[in-house]
Amino acid sequence: MKIVTIKQLLDAEVVCNEELLDKHVYSACGSDMMSDVLAYVKDQAVLLTGLVNSQVIRTAEMMDMVCIVLVRSKLPTPEMIDLARESGIVLMTTSKRMYEACGLLYSSGLVGNKVKK
């Protein structure tokens, strides 16, 4: 799914790197716990989170993520915006809650990563 489609589905506002909206993502993760993101997420994913600090950007960068969506109308800090811009990560914000945002993406065909047993 293209990031521009995610933007439309979530009625999201792009904070930075709008020129990268044609990139594709192949999975999604919704979490406020960056340790879970590090454990379960693969590359080319979108992260949905309500956590607002620079660690979110650093985690996404380590995991080769290409997009972060802040839920519940959360606004990124200036440091987050600078880090996302430098890392080439699209940063967006939506008024939707995490549950609804994840459900919309899932029902539109964006899957999560398979959890190893």
C-alpha dist (Å) from residue 45 to 1, 78, 86, 102 = 10, 23, 18, 13
In the block, residue with structure tokens 């960068």: 61
Confidence of residue 38 (pLDDT cuts 50, 70, 90): confident
Q: What structural domains and CATH numbers belong to the chain? A: 3-107 (3.40.1390.20)
Of 36-40, 71-75, 79-83, 93-97, least confident by mean pLDDT is: 36-40
What pTM does this model have?
A: 0.92
**For the chain, what is the mean pLDDT?**
91
Strands 45-49, 27-30: parallel, antiparallel or unpaired by DSSP?
A: parallel
pLDDT at residue 37, rounded to an integer: 84
CB 69 within 8 Å of CB 92: yes
- Identify which of 42, 19, 36 has the alpha carbon closest to the alpha carbon of residue 98: 36
